[in-house]
Structure 1
Amino acid sequence: MSDADPVDSWKNDLLNRKSVADYLSNHLRKRYANKPSENGFVLAINAEWGYGKTFLLNAWHEDLKYQGHPAVYFDAWKNDFTPEPLVAFISKIDEELEALFKNERAIKKKLSEAIGALSRFTTPALRLAGAIAMKRLLNISLEELESIAKGREPKEILSDEALQDDRDAFVNGLPDSFAEALKAHKEKEHSISAFRKKLTKLIEELDKSRKFQLPVFFFVDELDRCRPNYAIELLEGIKHLFGVPGIYFVVGLNSNQLAYSTQAIYGPQFDGSRYLKRFFDQEYLLPEPDPREYVRALFQNAAISEKSYVHGLHRNVYPGIDVEAIFIMFAKAFDAGLRDQIRTMQLIEAAIAGIVVNEIHCWFLFALAFIYEKNSQMFERLVSKHEGAVQVLVRLIEPRVFSIIDPDFNTGKSRTVDFIQVLSLYLANYRKTKGQLGGQGEIGFEFPSSLLNELRSNEMITSNEDAQSLYSIGHYPDLIRHAGGFIRTQ
């Protein structure tokens, strides 16, 4: 059992992922109770980027350790630089479990024996242009390869009407050291068999322990961000090495992304989704976060100094309105998915770093950021006024017209303010000086024209009518352009 407080693991759980972990923990424990003799189990946690998958796996891993389950977390992407994914993974297992079992002599001994059984687990000197490439080009059995090594004609073995030229060339060009590679391959198989037997002994020792409970959990994260061959070799190793009772894997990935990347290895017609399913016994689709919680997490994690946000809405009509609510309005209007929202927040974060004054006109800054993220060319046409603002905005937002209900001071009745109205007002006035904006009595007090009062009183700090102050919203488009330089290459 870990000494860490489980509360600490979840203290930054802004997307309510603990409820997911609790549900899945209960599900997997019941599965093990009902099927203790099944040869391992692999659960895929499938989620888009930005769903809180990594936070979930990290915190869940710590939580399970506190509850008495031996658990290991492995970030595959951080180890992507190594040529041997399984060596890196086994090293992580050894490191974490040895620390966990430090006071348990019998258990620690079984762990050492299991790791020691893999001492001869090395890649054959000859990789045949890579094991994965061999499968794609040859698709032949080990017995056939052994026959080739003994000198039989390749055509005799691969007599197939559909035999391709690249297979002919590949087989005929096999080097003399192939027999040595086959020997190394058999030694590797022997190591795998010995490892699984020793791993089973470790599980049996843990089953007798009062301190630990089964199953053992191995978490593998960020698989879809790895090199395709690295990810596939790791998945194949998981299936072949760890298929023993009492070992449960939880693999975090974006299955669509990983399936797409496998085509770089197997070709554009390869069905990556179907291929990946063979590695997983079950798949769990991580639910989309609550929009408000997600945006709150974006703002909390962003490197933004304390600012006051000007939004101009009446709090008696919109009592809960704040900067997060304005961001959500834009996300809905521009039909921005979670990943789009992350990238837009990166733009906003970088742009705000260049704003010296305390007041931020969030309607205008957010609009520019969402427009730039959605279509940077449209952004340039908009701010350069090569095309009318309304025409551009309608093309970006329609048919998702978003309206705000606001009181009319003259009639006392409610009126509808179109989202585009607010943006058009800013676009028509963001380059104006104080004098060009008009005097105090010339600007209305109703939203959205009331925003011009905020511009006049707070933003324009220079009395020079001929110069555009860098502190004004007239600087926002340039700030967004500069911010775009950080993210457009990602």
Structure 2
Amino acid sequence: MKLKLIPPYIPKTKEEGDPFMNCKLDRKEYADALTTIVNTYSDGFVMAINNKWGSGKTTFVEMWKQQLKNEDFQTLYFNAWENDFQTEVMVALLAELKELQDKGKRNFNSLVKSGAILLNKTTPIITKGLVSKVVGDKVVGELVEVITELTTGELKKQIESFTDAKKGLIDFRNNLKKYVAQVNKGKPVIFIIDELDRCRPNYAVSVLENVKHLFSVEGIVFVLSIDKVQLGHAIRGVYGSEQIDSEEYLRRFIDLEYNLPTPDRRLFIKYLYNYFEFNLFINSNARRARVEFHSDIDVLQNNAIILFADENFTLTQIEKNFARIRLTLNTFSEDQYILTDIVVLLSYIYDRYPEIYNKIENSEYTLQELVDVMDPIFESFKDPEHRGTRLILYASFLNRYHKQLLRLKKTKENIVELDKSNKSLKLVVKSRLENERNHLASLASFPPSHSQTKNIDLAFIQKRYSLVENLR
């Protein structure tokens, strides 16, 4: 059984097929749009693909990278997180550019030489903590701040180093332009930098500074695959202040920002259902022989769509939930009722509201207290298409928790009572959802499930989701 989603295979050549042939999120059209952008504005700029961590950016940019290669773009991919052990960012970026040197070896050697000179000349400044200002506007101000620490001779050396560094920067950028012009086949070099927001904060900021001040030349398009919120935390950490406007800071480096549109999570959920092989258990021969188990597939998928198709869940979070749900199924035997709707709801609560999950597990809520915390959650599921399904799910959940309280002798009352005024059932507790269509009291009193499950309480399911029951 699989517990981790393996990235889809990306064909490595034109002959193998379209790089997006295994994309489960229908994102090829966005890659086509980005290719048009980088080809139209080929004089060089920095673009950010900004989406939350876990939204599938890495898979997208790797597919796009191959598509660009198939269209004869010189394309580089740099995983900043895997390379942040490097102490010098320039060296790491030059190592990536080396991949293009087949047709420009002489110019690459000149580039490396000028880079070495530049590094050498900036070392005295680096040792004074001025690395991020080597080519910035405030370097003179920074020198004034440390002037009292320097002797006259030391200050002279610093000024000479700064002058040489400025010249070295010009030489480096000129050599980089020549190198790019020789290897780019008439199209911009696309330099993708991924996982920048997961690096050590100092390294992430250093990458940004290097890209902007050293490597941003005509003929190179840098693509930063980032989560701006997380990168903003890193920036504030480096500068030691929550008052730093990270949005304004990043605006200095990023010329164009692009957000991948929200994918259809329903497609992704159905893909995960197949990927994690739910059918091996839910649709096994033994279970198919029992008519009462036939609805398990639809119940699981429909409730997963209601709960996890929300934009607040990243693709990675949905994946982790499905892996845990699949693991939970392995705690059941093939002749047991699963109550897949409850399993999916518990997974949602465990992920989104862990404190509520723990209190439910320990039976700490009265029925009214549980309703008070669950009402806002169920009110947030606003899709009218699923209103009836969510009421059925809520009613079943309350019913199972009520049975749990009865078993533990934490309550003696029924979950519903007769309203004498109109002779209808009403909940003994107050819920804001009680009077919605598909009356909640009726559903809670007679949950729509087989009679054999009427005595199954929430703990029976929750112990399995919490993995305190042995796996088969």
Normalising by structure 2, report the TM-score.
0.72
Question: How far apart are the structure 1 equivalents of 2:446 and 2:106?
Answer: 73
Counterpart in the other structure of 1:463 = none
Question: How far apart are the structure 1 equivalents of 2:389 and 2:254?
Answer: 55
Q: What value does the CA root-mean-square deviation take over the aligned residues?
A: 4.3
Offset at residue 65 of structure 1 (A): 1.2
> Does residue 325 of structure 1 match 2:318?
no
SS in 2 for 1:252: strand
SS in 2 for 1:51: coil
Write the letter of the residue equivalent to 2:397.
L
Question: How far apart are the structure 1 equivalents of 2:157 and 2:66?
Answer: 44
1:80 to 69, 73, 84: 84
CA spacing shift, 1:281–1:416, aligned 2, 3 Å: closer
Question: How far apart are the structure 2 equivalents of 1:245 and 1:221?
Answer: 21
Counterpart in the other structure of 2:411 = none
Question: How far apart are the structure 1 equivalents of 2:311 and 2:291?
Answer: 23
CA spacing shift, 1:259–1:401, aligned 2, 3 Å: closer
Unpaired runs of 5+ residues, structure 1, are 33-37, 149-166, 407-413, 434-443, 461-467, 483-490
Offset at residue 3 of structure 1 (A): 4.4
> Does residue 199 of structure 1 match 2:176?
yes
Whether contact under 8 Å (1:344, 1:369) holds in the other structure is: no
SS in 1 for 2:41: helix
> Does residue 261 of structure 1 match 2:234?
yes
Q: Identity, % of aligned pairs? A: 25
The 5 A counterparts of 1:445-460 are 448-451=447-450, 453=452
The 5 A counterparts of 1:75-154 are 75-94=79-98, 96-98=99-101, 101=102, 104=103, 107-122=104-119, 124-127=123-126, 130-131=129-130, 141-143=138-140
SS in 2 for 1:45: strand
Which digits, 9 at most, give the CA deviation of each residue in 1:439-478, with x for residues without a partner?
xxxxx9x99432553689xxx9xxxxxxx9x9x6352253
Write the letter of the residue equivalent to 1:475.
K
Question: How far apart are the structure 1 equivalents of 2:380 and 2:237?
Answer: 37
Question: How far apart are the structure 2 equivalents of 1:111 and 1:218?
Answer: 16
SS in 1 for 2:467: helix
CA spacing shift, 1:62–1:118, aligned 2, 3 Å: same
- Give the number of aligned pairs: 407
CA spacing shift, 1:51–1:390, aligned 2, 3 Å: same
CA spacing shift, 1:361–1:86, aligned 2, 3 Å: farther
Whether contact under 8 Å (2:45, 2:216) holds in the other structure is: yes
Counterpart in the other structure of 1:437 = none
CA spacing shift, 1:91–1:303, aligned 2, 3 Å: farther
Unpaired runs of 5+ residues, structure 2, are 1-11, 408-442
Counterpart in the other structure of 1:286 = 260
SS in 2 for 1:127: helix
Question: How far apart are the structure 2 equivalents of 1:356 and 1:329?
Answer: 24
1:25 to 26, 30, 35: 35
Question: How far apart are the structure 2 equivalents of 1:449 and 1:404?
Answer: 19
> Does residue 227 of structure 1 match 2:237?
no
The 5 A counterparts of 1:411-490 are 417-428=391-402, 448-451=447-450, 453=452, 473=461, 475-479=463-467
> Does residue 398 of structure 1 match 2:379?
yes
Which digits, 9 at most, give the CA deviation of each residue in 1:231-254, with x for residues without a partner?
222112112222322111111111
Question: How far apart are the structure 1 equivalents of 2:81 and 2:262?
Answer: 23
CA spacing shift, 1:416–1:8, aligned 2, 3 Å: closer
Whether contact under 8 Å (1:263, 1:272) holds in the other structure is: yes
